[in-house]
Structure 1
């Protein structure tokens, strides 16, 4: 959640105008403080609260699906906050109190394992490892996302990507890189792959210079290996 700071500032201006009228006939400081204590303070109330996805998920009367993508890129403080969400299905706002879910949401966390998650968080989750797709499934995905790709080019580029994933590189190309590469090759009017074309477009599928250098020297072998795998 967040607080609506702009609305709070406007409320502060109104208070400045009203406080003078509220205490103008108070004879002592104690009387003025007593009147101020009885004044309704809504500065930190639901009127000024802006729900964000976690809180909105808790407040859905019909339930919801809450996706928290790439949790491994968040900080440890956010991970600690999720412990309450995943165990008790509630969010605590210090100024207001606890807001519990009317219907517990279905929560999905994704992680690329760039950071080790805490044991407390993992205990609250069911673990499912999703590996890279096989060549057939990857070709189906690319064909759906890039309808203009020819079958000949599709078979060779998927085979090459599958071969690259077997190399000892730091960042393996994902399906999104395969799709980007297919679109790039179409823009270049390519109908097949040759070593020169592959080397000139490696930066589309590999995002680290060390990986590009590693693969660039093996392009011919990887193309040949991909052809044999395709056959």
Structure 2
């Protein structure tokens, strides 16, 4: 839980870039622009892109730099209201009912009001996100929305339209101030237009070599400069190959970290072969690289960097 005092929202695109940079996130101006507008207009930000490009990290950095709570709803197939929004503490309610009966209470309406009160309400991420005070609204991350089904997606429409949720036993609970909503999807399925219309949209792409190198410098400060350059150049070339799953920025950082832990100053064929499991996650891709493709790519990387290409 973030205990830092909430800070004001950025007042310009440049301030938004500075905010992200302060949290160690290397963003381009297009992302900073749509994020600034999302904060200014109090609209959810819908981030789409391949896995591992840094979509989730944006919400984390935003919560950290703004001093807000980060509330994360990790989506999955079969996610329902009781897991995402609220449920009642049935065990505690039964104890309350037994105690009321033992005390001779016979007013059924009163007993019902007692058990269906805030005291027995278990708040899940959606309800927690609507509970922020003015000036302290949390960052609400709805992560990998494409993993849920369309029924839950439809349920979110009320939340994103009016920032409220209806609990039959208590009534409608409305946010005093809308949370800062970040929605991510890996595009394993299309999200309905009705939900997208309520959001601002941005496609988070793989970074170019210059920006990825800056990311590695920030995230793996112990890595030697030559190693960092070779790692980034190698990964950039991998993304041009038709692999089952090309490595994202997260894998680049992991690989640079692993090589630094091995005290490597630069890449060599044996090290690349031995550590491909950090970078690639499918055996077919690893086997292809170990068949000679990795050595070829490494030779190209060494040649290009030595000539400053």
TM-score range, shorter chain: 0.7 to 0.9
Q: 1:107 aligns with which of 181, 199, 213?
A: 181
> What is the CA RMSD across the aligned residues, in angstroms?
2.0
User: Kindly tell me: are residues 100 and 132 of structure 1, through their superposed partners in 2, closer, same or farther at Cα, counting changes over 3 Å?
Assistant: same
Structure 1 portions without partners, runs of 5+? 23-34
How far off is 1:16 after superposition? 4.0
Structure 1 moving runs of 4+ over 4 Å: none
Q: Distance in 1 between matches of 2:217 and 2:91?
A: 48
Give the secondary-structure state (helix, strand or coil) at the position aligned to 2:258.
helix
How far off is 1:7 after superposition? 2.4
User: Kindly tell me: are residues 206 and 124 of structure 1, through their superposed partners in 2, closer, same or farther at Cα, counting changes over 3 Å?
Assistant: same
TM-score (norm. length: structure 2): 0.65
TM-score (norm. length: structure 1): 0.84
Q: Is the 8 A contact 1:90 1:101 kept in 2?
A: yes
Stretch moving more, 160-169 or 97-106: 97-106
Give the secondary-structure state (helix, strand or coil) at the position aligned to 2:111.
coil
Q: Distance in 2 between matches of 1:188 and 1:64?
A: 40
Stretch moving more, 165-174 or 67-76: 67-76
Give the secondary-structure state (helix, strand or coil) at the position aligned to 1:91.
strand
Stretch moving more, 67-76 or 173-182: 67-76
State whether structure 2 residue 135 is matched by structure 1 residue 60: no
CA-to-aligned-CA distance 1:162-196 (integer Å, 9 cap, x gap): 11111111212111111111121122222111222
How do 1:1-150 and structure 2 match up within 5 A?
1-18=86-103, 21-22=104-105, 35-41=106-112, 42-62=114-134, 63-150=137-224
The count of aligned residue pairs is 217
CA-to-aligned-CA distance 1:84-121 (integer Å, 9 cap, x gap): 11112111212222111222223111112123222222
Q: Distance in 1 between matches of 2:170 and 2:256?
A: 52
Q: Distance in 1 between matches of 2:189 and 2:258?
A: 31
CA-to-aligned-CA distance 1:48-98 (integer Å, 9 cap, x gap): 112233212222221333222222223334322211111121112122221
Structure 2 portions without partners, runs of 5+? 1-85
- RCO comparison, higher one (Cα < 8 Å, 6+): 2
